[in-house]
Structure 1
Amino acid sequence: MSDTTLTDQQIVDTDAQLLYIGNTGTVEFDLTLPTEGKNGSTVTWASSDERWIQPDGTVHMPEYGRGDRNVTLTATVTHGDATATREFTVKVLEQANKIKVKEFFPIELSVQAGATYALPMFAAVLTDDGRLLSQRINWDDGVEHTAGEPGDVTFHGLIDGSTIDANATVHVLAEDPQTPVDATPKLNPVPLAHVRLTGDGVLAGNQQRRIEFLRTVNDDQMLIEFRRAAGLDTKGAPDMIGWDAPDALLRGHTTGHYVSALALAYAASGDETIKSKLDYMVDSLAEVQRAFDGKPGFHPGFLSAYSEFQFNELEKYAPYPTIWAPYYTLHKILAGLIDAYQYAGNETALDVASKMGDWTYDRLSKLPHEQLQNMWSMYIAGEFGGMNESLANLYAITKNPKHLAAARLFDNDRLMEPMRQHVDSLGGMHANQHIPQVIGSVKLFEQTGVPYYLDQAKFFYDSVTGHHLYALGGTGQGEMFHQPDEIGNLLFDNTAESCASYNMLKLTAELYRYFPDAQLGDYYERTTLNHIAATTDHVPEGGSMYFFPTQPGGQKSFDVENSCCHGTGLESHFYYAEGAYYTDADALYVRLYLNGTLDDEAGKLSVTVADATPEHVAIDVERLGRKQLRLRVPSWSVDGKVTVSVNGRAVDAAVVEAARTATGELAFSPALLGLDSFDGAHLELGFNPHMHLFATPDRPELAGVAWGPYVLAALSDETSFLDVPVDDADPDAAFEHEPGTLTFTHKATGLKFVPLSTIGFEHYHAYVRTK
């Protein structure tokens, strides 16, 4: 009943203040939200995030490991023509840890007597229902310790949120067990600036369209939020959209990708217009960094498109979406600047990046180890991209020990401890949140020589490529890793995030330097041709695919909303040649057969690849300042078959076999080919491509269909799995190859199969039922 002595406005103001919805600080139950005020007003409710609290008060607690969620409930109180609002901040707690552990994988670490060390805060477990998971451990005696005399020490703890025991054994040794080893890579990639793609193929076309798009980008628009945050003139630029909009918490990340894209595009093309745009971006970012310096609340070296607020809140464990991965955005900016220096020689970029590295160290080195681990294990909020990679790269240039120390502050137990245990506990982890961290692990091995950095990276790579891949080379469903060998049950519209493949290819290129095996070349080719090359629009508008649909009747969509995959899509088409050529003191290694030229005067290399198809490759060597030419034999060439001719003369099959190595390549010397020198030689390779299947391990009746290096899709708008009978022993018998094309017809059904990269907006089936 309303008080008749009050006006409508007084009623709503009073009733708004009298609203009570209980304890909002630790919510794990549905809320009772009143719909009527004390004085007869009407109350309606709105939620800032209906995933966790609906307007009727229904609460959905996040899964364990996803973190608590802060949600704003807004009450709108009305009476007559008067309105008042009141906001309530509600913390929804994550669910309790409900796992039942069948096996706890042993934690063992070795340390030197007298050294300080930290117990791993996560470790791998096997649950009763067969899942492998990484679980947080709360140690009885804390995390950080100092090693005493040599001998074994045991520690006890509990798995977080449970009464399940966890134990660790620390082996204290007289000598340092992590004595650095020689981290010199076996091979070095030929820099992108020495390779040019030619011809009218998919890769060269994609690259040229990306360059055309980059020329049209408004640089001042890319800089608007940086200038706005620093109080500088925004030069009348329009606002950014999507994830970089003025109120978006990830604003600035696309600008970092854009700087990298310009640097890579310049390296891949030598285009001076692109170089001018890059220099303008770097000079402008340097101006922003100078403008921040000395402002209240900003510390020297800071550079971003917003204040230090999100970094402050992360240290208080603010969850997503209260904040959104501030170090992720910082990484994109830092990586772009380092790329500007490495690919285009911009010294200003190095200066700005170096100051950012100092800022990072100065901030994070003050935090306890346990706090850092808590931050990096947070879902999305703690995502930091490849900060460890970029800081290690920065150290390689500057040799500033602060930059290397900063890189190591991003070591993440939740990901890496199970990898050191050699347990694939990736299930439940955000895929692209963690792949860049592994790239950083390889770079840290290169700079420190500490063996576990390389070991854990290789185990991670083998786990993903062996047990978490879709046929096209992508990984993850709904951005998440799932349990090993679970693919057939995860064929949906939100599979194979493009960012994940972008980073897996970077990881492959880094690992190949230490593990020069043709299988890494196979993965690089497969994912480049069938995922990355297939994710760009066919017009120069800059669109990229976020997910690659794998469900029946899937259809592509191209994102221009400045998402993460739009950002990596700006860069990825300039990385095509990253995995193509490597060298050591004795040999040139050809990993990918890309139509184009390799020209490195200082390296005494001049090579042209032409007419590259799955059946045939022509290689003209003008100059080869190496003793050997090593040529990859693709795994898709049935039975490893390959023919070789030199200067029009067939090389005897016995000679070819004599050149075959255990790592899946042909190692030719001039003498083996009957030559005095490679210079001036014309080689032709013939391969034996056939149809083959990528059956899903959990549903072997479902398979992706491929011919040679190309994964094919059936064109159909049917929304159920298509029955496409194929004899596993002879897949070729089921298809007819249209001469001179990459189109195949399934004889029994008449279905057309085409490479994924050629599909525009047609509905397709990436997987079919083959038996």
Structure 2
Amino acid sequence: MTPPPPPPLNRRVFLHAATLIAAAPGLSLLPAGRSSAAVPRAAAAAASLRPFALKDVTLGPGVFAAKRALMLDYARGYDVDRLLQVFRANAGLDARGAVAPGGWEGLDGEANGNLRGHYTGHFLSMLAQSYGSTGEEVYAERIRTIVGALTEVREALRREPAVLSVPGRSTQSTGDAARTAVENVRGSYQYVELPPAVLNASPAVTLSAWVRPTHNAAWARVFDFGDGTTRYLYLAVRNASGVPRFALTTGGAGAEQAVNGTAPLPLDRWSHLAVTLSGTTAILYVDGVAVGRNTAMTLTPRSLGTPANNWLGRSNYPADPLFAGALDDVDIWSRALSPAEVAELGTGSGTAAPSAGAGDLASYRMDETSGGTLADASGRALHATLRRSWGGPSHPGFLAAYPETQFIALESMTRGDYTAVWAPYYTAHKILRGLLDAYLNTDDARALDLAAGLCDWMHFRLSRLPASTLQRMWGIFSSGEFGGIVEAICDLYALTHRPEHLALARLFDLDRLIDACVAGDDILDGMHANQHIPIFTGLVRLYEETGEARYLTAARNFWDMVVPHRTYGIGGTSTAEFWRARGVIAGTLSDTTAETCCAYNMLKLSRTLFFHDRDPKYMDYYERALHNQVLGSKQDRPDAEKPLVTYFIGLLPGQVRDYTPKAGTTCCEGTGMESATKYQDSVYFAEADGSALYVNLYSASTLTWADRGVTVTQTTDFPVEQGSTLTINTTAGNRPAAFDLRLRVPEWARDGVKVTVNGVPVPETPRPGGYFTLSRTWRAGDTVRIDVPFRLRTESALDAPATQTLFYGPVNLVARDPRRTFLPVSLHHNTALSGDLLPSLTPVPGSPLHFTTPDGITFAPFAEGTEDPTHAYIHRTEPRVVLGTLDSGVTNPSAPDGTTLLDAIWAGAPFASKRALVDAVAATVRTWTAEGRLSEADGDRILSTARRASYQP
């Protein structure tokens, strides 16, 4: 059945949606004229915070703008026809000579490219964000090109296959443009079916064809006649050794009577391939020259009877590839042509009829330029038909770069096998998300039509399945992965309000996981991380659209299971793509730690939860992951062919980041492209009623808050600069604007954050880990300065206190050193009263945020996208108790959990004065002496050292 078309929507509503959903999901939108009485109960669940569209926040100079510029150049210059190649090929359309990107995005990549199409979806999102951020028409034009092509692809998939007409073989030798041939593009799944009587049980045969192969796959057939893998006759372009082969058998592969060629046929050039068989002799010809002979043949075509399968370009072995390339002048004779006749065929220009005439069994000139029927010129009217190996045409709305069979096969799978089925709904999500982003940023109605059609098709497909089948599918590792498709479907529903779209979103509920998270039951150990993180962003959106509290509860509890219990210092999570036991950090460090997609999706989930809970912990995490893993995942150099983004970020000692994994088209390169073109998406949020503005991140930027007639400009070089200046101006006739300005005070900012308004200090002291509110009527030119002093601190791995990572404010510092063992680092030999470890390091002149230790180890920001070997974690070693540069001569004792005496002393920082520090030393010494970890004499020496030492503030 054909799903009904989407109802017409009001363009004003479309554009309003663009300013909201493009920036972030989280709002239910009402079509024009819809009364509040008709609003679904989701209205009560909608978040009262709203994000700003990317166009409303302009990045200023700084690290984010510099990283983004690299990705904008890549988006501007990459050939989008390469992305479209796999879509066009799948639909049997002209791929325009483009070569697919490779890696996961092509037929030759991992698992035969079963994820192809995902990268195009990411690329569309990147283009949409680039256009939304910059307004440069080049990005909109590229979006229109892709959307137009995908529209053509969907239409082609709905039709029976049609011939792709290309210049024929005579053009190569004579330039005769009038002659044409038929090409089957690799990845089109197309072949030619001949009528059953084509061989006519002939005792002799000649097979002749001009071929222009475009791929070097072994066992691709030109001709194949048979009933399966026991009785068949074939002529292949390449055997396992890469040379042509003719074979005939009635006993399977082991009983083949065959003739092999001597050299491979060239790619992308016409060659004539023929075989003659009469009596006991079979001769194989290439370009009219005999290249192989078998004089002991006992089988003939008559031995096969009337084969069920009579094909050009397809093998009776299902695993063999289809022939990729062009065919011209295909003939079959019921006799063995003479060597002279074959030579004439193999060397002729094609402008005159050969003396052998047309094949008397079948003859196809391949002159068709449309349709799916190939005319037979033999006089027997055995016309051939172009077919797809997977059947078809596709159901209405289907759009992909591979056949619908990927989705169908998943429905009967009981265990994952990505070489057979690799996450088709994950790929569908990327395409859907890209189309939605394209529509919301360019108002191209074709993109919305494609998105709605794809969801109509998914609903048609999934709504017929039993709930038990759906639960089994979504629980299968890799094959059943569906990414953030629920979020995207909910965003579509916010535009269409079609019930089947909301129903579709709920068909992806993975009840076992949802129920466990609602109950607070941590079952994440052993689960694939990125398969499940985006599920929860979708659940928050489902809460917003349905009002079902279990969805929001599950997402909240899930987040708390990941942060901090499975989170590395840089904000990433997972090792080898999976989660391990709760609280195990040092024990999971590897060269495949912190899959970059996980950070991307944790950021989305964090901001979405913040819209509802306003818990500062979400924005503390957001800052950590954004400033470290996300920024550090992008290499700091241009490249026209690859986005240069990491897949994994290994956190073992001496790791070098790989910015071109698997040819640069993995899931993480896709999300990395998106991350680098939306750095500003969470700098500011606003109350839906316009009563307050949240400043979440300190980043050089200008916000245009049109609803309030206000602009807010941040002038800062954060994080090089420890603070930011905000200038407020009005755009509505300089009228004052009353609203609350809420400045985020990071949890790590424990050294006295200061705020001034127009140069006047604010008397209240902002507390770390929250928001500091300034309530006033703002006038043009008002300035707010927030100073956020940094301190150098360490964070210990939850399962190994001595395994630590360094932070300076929000900046994760990594050691640059080629050694592959953990570096021993001491930091307490000059700790300040505030607890700041920075006095123990020396700043590197001319290199902001770079420091060296006394023994020459250099620390630099993780965010710098270099290829230096780095140490994200070091082994903290404080062998003796040193206070204020004075060595007490006492060995630094440890508690059973690994905490040392110095750790216990400095845990009480900041200290208001030296006296306060000395008192803390005395108290700690007494405790450790009483517990038998320290002798009284050593305790006295430590206390004496504390009293004699001098300390920085």
Q: TM-score range by the shorter chain?
A: 0.7 to 0.9
* 3-state SS of 2:788 partner: strand
Which residue of 820, 825, 830 maps to 1:719? 820
**Which one-letter code corresponds to 2:740 in the other structure?**
Q
Is 1:518 the counterpart of 2:626? The answer is no
Displacement after TM superposition at 1:650 (Å): 2.7
Give the Cα separation in 2 of the matches to 1:679 and 1:663.
30
Residue 600 (1) aligns with residue 705 (2)? yes
Q: 852, 855, 858: which one pairs with 1:749?
A: 855
Aligned partner (choices 404, 420, 437) of residue 308 of structure 1: 404
Q: Give the superposition deviation at 1:514.
A: 0.5
In 1, Cα distance between equivalents of 2:69 and 2:512? 41
Q: Is the 8 A contact 1:181 1:451 kept in 2?
A: no
Paired amino acid for 1:205: A
* Alignment of structure 1 residues 418-429 onto 2, 5 Å: 418-429=516-527
- Asked if the contact 1:294–1:300 (Cα under 8 Å) also holds between the matched residues in 2, the reply is no
2:37: which partner in 1? Answer: none
SS of 2:742 mapped into structure 1: strand
Partner of 2:587: 489
Partner of 1:186: 48
Q: How do residues 453-602 of structure 1 correspond to structure 2 at under 5 angstroms?
A: 453-541=551-639, 542-559=643-660, 560-584=663-687, 585=689, 586-602=691-707
**2:716 aligns with one of 585, 608, 611:** 611
State the Cα distance separating 1:463 from its structure 2 match: 1.4
In the alignment, structure 1 residue 651 sits paired with structure 2 residue 747: no
Runs of 4+ in 1 over 6 A off after TM superposition: 178-181
- For residues 117 and 525 of structure 2, the distance between their equivalents in structure 1, rounded to whole angstroms, comes to 30
Q: Is the aligned partner of 1:620 residue 2:718?
A: no
Structure-to-structure mapping, 1:68-217, within 5 angstroms: 182-199=44-61, 201-217=62-78
2:531 matched to which residue of 1? 433
The answer for unaligned runs of 5 or more in structure 2 is: 1-39, 161-391, 731-735, 878-953
Matched residue, 1:271: 136
Q: Are positions 1:696 and 2:797 aligned together? A: yes
| Residue 744 (structure 1) shift | 4.1
- In the other structure, the counterpart of 1:349 is 447
Distance 1:194 1:357, change over 3 A: same
Q: Report how far residue 414 of structure 1 moved.
A: 3.5
**Partner SS, residue 607 of structure 1:** strand
Residue by residue over 1:268-320, the C-alpha shift from the partner in whole angstroms, topping out at 9 and shown as x without a partner, is 11111111101111111111112222442410000000110111110011631
Structure 1 residues 626 and 507: CA distance shift in structure 2, 3 A: farther
| Shift in CA distance, 374/716, structure 1 to aligned 2, threshold 3 Å | same
Q: Distance in 2 between matches of 1:465 and 1:345?
A: 38
Give the counterpart letter for 2:861 in structure 1. P
- Distance between the aligned counterparts of 1:301 and 1:215, measured in 2? 30
Q: Based on CA coordinates, which of the two structures has the bigger radius of gyration?
A: 2
Once the two structures are TM-superposed, the CA of residue 767 in structure 1 deviates from its matched residue by 0.3
Structure 2 counterpart SS, 1:669 = strand
Answer with 515-524 or 302-311: which moved more.
515-524
1:406-417 to structure 2, matched below 5 A, reads 406-417=504-515
| Partners of 2:157 and 2:393 within 8 A in 1 | no
Distance 1:413 1:186 in 2: 28
Partner of 2:810: 709
Task: For residue 131 of structure 2, give the secondary structure of its aligned residue in structure 1.
Answer: helix
Structure 1 residues not aligned, in runs of 5+ = 1-177, 671-675
Alignment of 1:220-235 (within 5 A): 220-235=81-96
Asked whether the equivalents of residues 742 and 755 of structure 1 are also in contact (C-alpha less than 8 Å), the reply is no
Q: Where does residue 925 of structure 2 map in the other structure?
A: none
SS in 2 for 1:391: helix
- Give the equivalent residue in structure 2 for 1:320: 417
Q: Which one of the candidate residues 467, 471, 481 is aligned to 1:373? A: 471
1:626 deviates by 4.6
Residue identity matched to 1:703 = Q
Corresponding position of 2:782: 681
Which residue of the other structure, out of 862, 872, 875, is the alignment partner of 1:766?
872
What code does the residue aligned with 2:56 have?
A: H
AA of the residue aligned to 1:698: D
Deviations 1:467-514 (A, max 9, x none): 110000000000001111111111111000001101111111211111
Whether 1:282 and 2:147 are equivalent positions in the alignment is yes
Residue type of the partner of 2:604? K
SS state of the match for residue 704, structure 1?
Answer: strand
CA contact (8 A) 1:475 1:496 kept: yes
Task: Select which of 366, 384, 388 maps to 2:486.
Answer: 388
1:162 matched residue in structure 2: none
How many angstroms does 1:603 deviate by?
Answer: 4.2
Contact preservation (8 Å) 1:518, 1:591? no
Is residue 608–residue 620 contact of structure 1 (8 Å, CA) maintained in 2? yes
Q: Which amino acid in 1 is paired with 2:67?
A: N
Q: One-letter code of the match for 1:574?
A: T
Instruction: Please tell me the residue identity of whatever aligns with 1:726.
Output: L
Amino acid at match of 2:756: S
Deviations 1:715-762 (A, max 9, x none): 100111000023395523422334664344344322111001224111
SS of corresponding position for 1:750: coil
- Asked if 2 retains the 8 angstrom alpha-carbon contact of 1:468 and 1:475, the reply is yes
Equivalent of residue 114 in structure 2, options 249, 258, 264: 249
User: What is the RMSD computed on CA atoms of the aligned residues?
Assistant: 1.9
Q: Residues of 1 paired with 2:75 and 2:92: CA distance?
A: 27
Measured after TM superposition, the shift of residue 345 of structure 1 is: 2.2
Indicate the residue corresponding to 1:636 in structure 2: 748
Residues 612 and 618 of structure 1 are in contact (CA less than 8 Å); yes or no, is this contact kept in structure 2? no
Residue aligned with 1:705, SS: strand
CA distance in 1, matches of 2:425, 2:100: 23
Mapped partners of 1:241, 1:744: distance in 2: 38
8 Å contact from structure 2 (residues 486, 539) kept in 1: yes
Bigger relative contact order, structure 1 or 2, given CA contacts below 8 A and separation 6+?
2
Compute the displacement of 1:408 (Å).
0.4
Residue 514 of structure 1 aligns to a residue whose secondary structure is helix
Deviation by residue 1:547-568 (Cα, 9 ceiling, x = unmatched): 1110011111112431111111
Shift of 1:374: 0.3
SS of 1:694 mapped into structure 2: strand
**Residue 552 of structure 1 contacts residue 765 of structure 1 at CA under 8 Å; is this kept in 2?**
yes
Q: CA deviation at 1:612?
A: 3.5
- CA gap 1:193/1:737 in 2 versus in 1, 3 angstroms: same
2:502 alignment partner, SS class: helix
Q: Deviations over 1:418-454 (max 9, x none)?
A: 1011022111010000011111001111111110111
Contact 2:424 2:482 in 1 (8 A): yes
1:244 aligned counterpart, secondary structure? coil
In 2, distance between residues paired with 1:663 and 1:635? 4
Code of the aligned partner of 2:709: K
SS at match of 2:476: coil
Amino acid at match of 2:118: H
> 1:670-689, CA deviations, whole angstroms, 9 ceiling, x for partnerless residues?
2xxxxx52432012111111
Deviation at 1:215, TM superposition (A): 1.2
